[in-house]
Amino acid sequence: MNGDRTITGATRVVGIIGDPVRHSRSPAMHNAAFETLGLDWVYVAFPVARGDGAAAVRAVASLGLAGLNVTMPHKADAAAACDDLAPEAAALAAANTVVNVDGALVGHSTDGDGFLRALQDEGVEVAGRHVLVVGAGGAARAITHALGRVGGDVTVAARRPDAARSAASLAPDGVAAGFDGIAVEGFDVIVNATPLGMEGEAPPIDVAKLHADQFVYDAVYPVETPLLREARARGLRAAGGLGMLVHQGALSFSLWTGVTPPLDVMRAAASADV
């Protein structure tokens, strides 16, 4: 963001709440887009402790904020604190975007569509194809629901059977499975929606069974995870989570401002120093 920029009482404020949130690339990404478009808006990070997410969301109207992004661990609490939910957020009972509409707080989930747009960038078609989603947390649930909406044949693998079943139920005819014995070679697209790999951990699947006809997407960002390295070494096409981050952020940006943001500017800011 340009150091000469002036913040005034008229500047519209949006931000992100999370715990932790210091690492977030969203402020750089959104502020670069605001500056490029000449919008008098600013995006800041608000560290909000676990359990305080609902209170933070309810404060949006009182403070006159234009909206928020919401990350772990507050997405369910954010949805519960909103006055209304868009269909995707209602289906997931989770919101990653809050929009202040004349004092009424509307919750949205842009994660799923952000993921689908990231796949489109990679030229990957999922309709009618077998997709394995590894994990059953918030990101996995949003991804599974989105895949189901566009006709993906989805299997969700997770350590906890109940969590896998709950996530799988978000896609038509979704199948739940455990980590042990999952036949990864039988899927066209494999998505890691767990944090495994962020700190260099071993992949959550048996990469020795992968083959070159498959596509691997790792929602972890911004690091080049062991899963991505090993998949590419075996001749697979693969992509990390930066595209999903940029696209879900761009969708949030449009919901707040009514303006289409410059994706190239957001991507460059999000990937700076990566």
Catalytic residues: 75
Evaluate whether 174 touches 168 at the Cβ level (below 8 Å): yes
In three-state secondary structure terms, 146 is: helix
In the sheet that 175-177 helps form, which strands lie side by side, from edge to edge?
A: 175-177, 153-157, 130-134, 189-192, 215-218, 237-239
Provide the 3-class DSSP secondary structure of residue 230.
helix
CB 109 within 8 A of CB 86: yes
Dmax (CA) of the chain: 58
- Return all residues near 160 (Cβ < 8 A) that are at least 6 apart: 136
Strands of 67-70's sheet in order across: 41-47, 12-18, 67-70, 97-101, 104-108, 84-85
* Ramachandran class of 245: left when φ > 0, alpha when ψ lies in -120 to 50, beta otherwise: alpha
